Chain A
Amino acid sequence: MEVANLGMNDRPMRSGAGPAMLAEPMPDAANGGTDPIIRIAGVGKRFASDTQGSEPVLDAIDLTIRDNEFVVLLGRSGCGKTTLLNIVAGLEKATSGSVLVANRPVTGPGGGKGMVFQQNALFPWLTAARNVMFAAQSRGQSKAEAAALAAELLRLVGLDAVGDKYPSELSGGMQQRVAIARALALDPAILLMDEPFGALDELTRNEMQDELLRVWQVRRKTVLFVTHSIWEALMLADRIVVLAPRPGRIVLERSVDQPRPRSRTNPGLLALHEAIWQALQAR
């Protein structure tokens, strides 16, 4: 009798479901009471090609993201940050654990999860406007509606004059603006960004960060943003999550409370930069 009882109490605790969940502190309560929109629970990832005994790409990642929060995943190459993003996007499957977006388990891509890739993810055979319309029409908009939305979104990202240009005729920065407009055309609940400015020169990169914040303030979205640049994280994030490789795990989580636009000489940010720098040294 006693043994059976112990077993009953033990199981829900480990799986993170059932009555034990009620005892968990609500993570959103501390953060203004908005609903969590992304819940990453115990997510682990191993590739089939990994050798026996090697460390997993991701190991038991827990992360909860509130509605409209801007979270940056920061880490060196190979820490699994892009893999984690792809799992949230539904483009890769986790080996263990679960991801809920808007309280529904992620089973695949689509369904209101917009994504901006590192580069060259625009359809080269479609003009800038047609790329944006592709996304709008994929969620059932008529051609006229999609064209109007494309014009509006291209204006929002500062590209009103190049709608009929092909991606190959646009600079890298302009291409990524179109990619952002295209992701927004899905009217997604969350926006996933995989080092979207990683291939740009530093000046363009800084401009794009300002631009993204401006767009984000007009069209509030939950953003999960992957980068390996500490300053990019400091400029953009409400919260920075630092990952370390082998096994991929969270080694630091910090909120950034400074108002935007932020300055690189801000002493609070400099202190945070130092703390993150230290955390990134973890192996």
Chain B
Amino acid sequence: MDRLIGTRLARFLIPAVFLALMLALWEFAVAAGWLRRLLFPPPSRLIGSAIELASVGVPVGNTLLYNASVTLARILAGFIGALVLAIPLGLLIGSRPLLDRATQPIVGFCRSVATLSLLPLALVWFGIGETSKIFLIGYGCFWVMLSNVIAAVRLVDPVLLNAARTMDIPEHRLFMRVVLPATLPRIAAGARIALGVGFMVIVGAEMIGTVTGLGALIMEARTFYRTDITMIGMLAIGILGLVLTSALARLETRLMPWLPRGNAEAG
């Protein structure tokens, strides 16, 4: 048995068998009347709902794929907007110690504010349209990203700068030649964390003022006591997050082939 655990087949098979067992137990618990069907729809019911959601849609026309694509578009808009602003700003702040010192409390504070607590403000500022949702995702991603980029610059090993200096690289070119490539891995790690934040924010952001998106779907389902739809929605968000995160990790290993293998998956 111990010898089996290490093999590749076992690595896939063991969690799969365990998952199947848990699902079977759930199905059985509902059938036996230990769990109420309305509150804990069994896996067999969920499969049916998933097919309904994917083909007809709830409300009719809003298919699962459509909702997922709306959610994905919002996340990407907020996430990419945050990166575009936070990376240059973080590089600037990180390489100016005075600026770093001056902004530290602000960055720390804004990062700590629970993004969804800004929801009422966002609604007042930007209305109930797309802008307020993208703003909330962008806000959450931005501060996480900014503090990671600042730290990335601060943590560049001074020995690398000194090594470049012994090679007659002038001070004004150290940034492009050394600082930027040296910070890339930490910036990428920051992006992965920020994306996770985006996924946490999106559901809340979609709960008000819209009928599209996976967050809206989950909320709508509650009004009709469709716990099965809520669960499918959760599942869809989870899968979307997993796909996006692993795409980012793959991009990372492609862009930074020098990183030790497994680095991207671990962080």
What is the interface of chain A, defined by CB distance below 8 A to chain B?
89-91, 108-111, 113-115, 117-118, 120-127, 134-135, 138-139, 166-168, 183, 186
Contacts and interface: CB of A to CB of B under 8 A. Distances in A.
A196 to B, nearest CB: 12
A167 B162 CA distance: 18
A121 B166 CA distance: 12
Contacts, number: 63
Query: Which of B157, B159, B181, B257 has most A Cβ within 10 Å?
Result: B159
Nearest to A125: B181
A156 to B, nearest CB: 19
B184 A125 contact: yes
A250 B256 CA distance: 47
What is the interface residue range for chain B against chain A? 10 to 19
B258 A120 contact: no
**Nearest 10 CB-CB pairings of A with B:** A110-B168, A166-B258, A109-B165, A138-B167, A125-B181, A115-B166, A121-B163, A121-B159, A109-B166, A168-B260
Interface of B: 157, 159-160, 162-163, 165-169, 178, 181-182, 184, 256-260
Contacts of B159: 117-118, 120-121
A126 B256 CA distance: 10
A14 to B, nearest CB: 33
Contacts of B167: 110, 134-135, 138-139, 186
Contacts of A166: 257-258
Given A138-B167, A138-B169, A125 B160 contact: no
Main secondary structure of the interface of A (DSSP, over half): loop
A121 B160 contact: yes
A241 B257 CA distance: 44
Given A91-B166, A110-B166, A124-B258, 7 more contacts: A110-B165, A110-B169, A111-B168, A117-B159, A117-B162, A121-B159, A139-B168
